[in-house]
Amino acid sequence: MAVREIVTVGDPVLRERARDIAPDELRSIEVQRLIDDLIDTKRTANGAGLAANQIGETLRVAVVEVEAGNPRYPYKPPIPLTVIVNPVLEPVGDEIAEINEGCLSVPDLRGTVERFVTVRVRYVDRDGVEHEEERRGLTAGTFQHEVDHLDGVLFLDRVRDPTTFTTWEQFDRHHRAAFEARARDLVRRTGS
């Protein structure tokens, strides 16, 4: 296990579509080690998720986890560690929420994006077991953010109103209170 360097916006690897992982390949030491590295790197950076592109690998795998008391995201409900391999997302309904997002690959910038409130996620876990789940609320937003990475898409691309871009310092100073109130309302309505 190792903490890897997180690549930042401008690195072409973040713009590549990651490729599917075959079942045999998933069992390999290399891919299992990559998954361990994603978990270690995400936890060290206090992220909510990390996709393989962000550590320079173009394989379709990402990890999502929000630990209770995460200092980057105090308003996010906990998400148990979930390793998603070859994920496919599908919106359920057309309800949209405006979510203020940041990204470990886009240092010191946040912006407001629109995300589906409910998505169906199909993936296999690191043991090759198939899963199909519905994710709602902020958690659904996190899954959409990570699967975007695997398609070479950054949250920057989804910001419709560029005046919502802020540094973390200005977010804390001017925008955090209003966003956290909206976020907590979404969590109350959706349970996640």
Give the residues lining the site for Zn ion (CB under 5 A). 103
Question: Rounded to the nearest whole angstrom, what is the least distance from the CB of residue 71 to Zn ion in the complex?
Answer: 17
Residue nearest to Zn ion (CB): 103
Positive/negative CA dihedral, 13, 161, 91, 181: positive
Whose Cβ is closer to Zn ion: residue 119's or residue 177's? 119
Whose Cβ is closer to Zn ion: residue 103's or residue 147's? 103
146 has catalytic annotation: yes
SS3 label, residue 153? coil
CA-to-CA dists, residue 125 to 13, 27, 34, angstroms: 23, 11, 13
Question: Rounded to the nearest whole angstrom, what is the least distance from the CB of residue 175 to Zn ion in the complex?
Answer: 19
Residue in the block written with tokens 């936890």:
43
Whose Cβ is closer to Zn ion: residue 72's or residue 189's? 72
State the helix-helix crossing angle for 137-150 and 176-190, rounded to 10 degrees: 100
The string of DSSP codes covering 54-114 is: GGT--BSEEEEEE-TT-SS-TTSPPEEEEEEEEEEEEE-SS-EEEEEEEETTEEEEEEEEE
Question: Rounded to the nearest whole angstrom, what is the least distance from the CB of residue 103 to Zn ion in the complex?
Answer: 3
Among residues 57, 65, 101, 146, the one annotated as catalytic is 146
Angle at 31 between CA 49 and CA 6, to 5 degrees: 40
Whose Cβ is closer to Zn ion: residue 9's or residue 22's? 9
Question: Rounded to the nearest whole angstrom, what is the least distance from the CB of residue 188 to Zn ion in the complex?
Answer: 25
Structure tokens at 116: 């589906």
The catalytic residues are 146
